[in-house]
Each structure stands twice: as C-alpha cells, then as structure tokens.
Amino acid sequence: MRALNVDPFVTKGRDIESHLIDAKYFSELNKDLTEQEFEALIDSVVQSMEPNTTADFVNARIDMARKEKKAGNINAGLIAVQAPKIISADVRRYCGKPVLRAIRQEYQSLRKKNLISLEASETIRDQFLAGIAKKVFKTIS
C-alpha cells in the first residue's frame, strides 16, 4: 500500500460496506427516514439475510483454513455449528456487501429512490481505527 501511496480504510467489520451500515449515518444522508426507522430497516434486512451471512462466514473460514495449508484439518461441520453463535454475538460485524446491497434494494422499494450511502461523514469515523491507521500507515493525516 505504501508503494502505491494509497490510504487504507480500516474497519471493524468484514469489509468497507459493513462499516457503512449505520442507521445514524443513513439518516444523516437520507432525511426522509429517521435514525429509528433506518434501525428497523437494517434489522429487518439483517434478519432476512441471516442464512446468506452464515453461509458466507462458513465459506470464508474454510477458505482461510485452506490458505493456511490446514486443508486436512478443516472441520466444516464444527465451523457451521459455531457460526450462528459467533455471528449473533456481533451480527453487524459480519454484514457486508450483500447486506448493504439488500438495504439499498429495500430502501429503493419503500421510498422509490436510491439510498445515499457513499458520502464522507464524521458520523462513521472511528477514533480507535483512525489511530491504528495513523500509526501503521504514515500517509494518513
């Protein structure tokens, strides 16, 4: 990254999109729904996407084990059994691109317009992550 002079976007979730799934952030950018209404919309989509999120989690864990050359020791059944408990402990952490896409689709279906969701905002700035990025990647100001 340093060689490319690229600033990283560090997140707590599985990808950048997981960081954007925030009711306060959405309500700041889309004034037609309140934070509470966005929270309900997000919860509804997250619940409906639970099987997909679980499958993505299991597949990702298996892929990571394969890349670590532990293919012979992969217990896919155990990963599948543990997945719902791990995900339910912090479900938003495991919601990424597919969930954000579904939130956009649901919003468009309800409001007949596109969800604004890719704007810079202090609302989604995380001081802890910004501190890490600043220490690790010297290009961050």
> Which range has the worst mean pLDDT, 73-77, 109-113, 130-134?
130-134
Question: Containing domain of residue 114, as a range?
Answer: 17-121
Residue 138, in any domain of the structure:
no
* Chain segment 57-100, per-residue pLDDT in tens: 999 999 988 888 766 788 999 999 999 999 999 999 999 999 99
Concatenate the DSSP letters of all residues of 84-123 into one string. HHHHHHSGGGG--HHHHHHHHHHHHHHHSSPPP-----GG
Residue 137, in any domain of the structure:
no
Residue 57, in any domain of the structure:
yes
Residue 46, in any domain of the structure:
yes
Residue 53, in any domain of the structure:
yes
Residue 10, in any domain of the structure:
no
Residue 97, in any domain of the structure:
yes
pTM of the model: 0.80
125 three-state secondary structure: coil
Confidence of residue 127 (pLDDT cuts 50, 70, 90): confident
Confidence of residue 6 (pLDDT cuts 50, 70, 90): low
As for how many domains the chain has, the answer is 1
Quote the pLDDT of residue 137: 67
Mean per-residue pLDDT, 114-124 = 91
Quote the pLDDT of residue 140: 47
**Residue 138 near residue 2, CB atoms below 8 Å:** yes
Residue 102, in any domain of the structure:
yes
